[in-house]
Amino acid sequence: MERSHPGAVPPGGEFDLTDTALYWLVLLARLRRNELARDLSRLGVYSGQEQVLLQRWDDTGFAQADLAERVQAVPATVTKMVQRLERAGLVRRERRAGRRGGTVLLTEHGWTVRDEVRTLWSRAEERLVENLSGTEYATLRALLVKMCEN
C-alpha cells in the first residue's frame, strides 16, 4: 500500500516547498552547521574535520580508508582533510607494514583540540534541541536514524 505524506505533491497539484519535511531539515541543518563551522574556525578546524577528530581514537589510530568509511566520505576527500589536519599539527601519518596509505594518529595537540571540539559539538547539540522535551528528543533521534536506514 502506498503511503501519502503531507509534503507529497499530488499529480497536477500545487507545490509549497515549506510543506515538505526536506525543506525544514535542509534549513535547520544549514543554520546549525554554519553556527558550528563558525565556532570550529576559532580553533582552526574546518567544517567536516570535526567528524574525523571526534572518532573513537586510541593509540593505534586509523587507516585512512577506515576514516573514510567512518565519516562516510570518499577517500580523496579524507586524504585532503587529513593533509590539512596534519599541516595544522592535529594528526600525523605513519607508514605501517601491510597498511596501504599508512595510519593516521592524533598528536598531543590533536587530543587537546579534540576535547574542545567535543565541547563545541555538545553545545551545538544543546542549541539544536533546547526546545524539545526529553521524550521529543528521543523520538527525533529515533526517527532520524530510521530515515537514514533507507
| CA–CA dist 143, 25 (Å, integer) | 12
Q: Which of 72, 49, 43 is nearest to 148 (CA)?
A: 72
Residue-wise pLDDT for 107-137, tens only, equals: 999 999 999 999 999 999 999 999 999 999 9
Contacts 24+ apart (CB under 8 A), 103-106: 103/60, 103/61, 103/62, 103/63, 104/61, 104/62, 104/63, 104/64, 104/67, 105/57, 105/59, 105/61, 106/53, 106/57, 106/61
Residue-wise pLDDT for 69-86, tens only, equals: 999 999 999 999 999 999
φ and ψ at residue 103, rounded to 5 degrees = -120, 140
pLDDT of residue 1: 42
Whether 57 shows a pLDDT value over 50: the answer reads: yes
| CA–CA dist 33, 52 (Å, integer) | 16
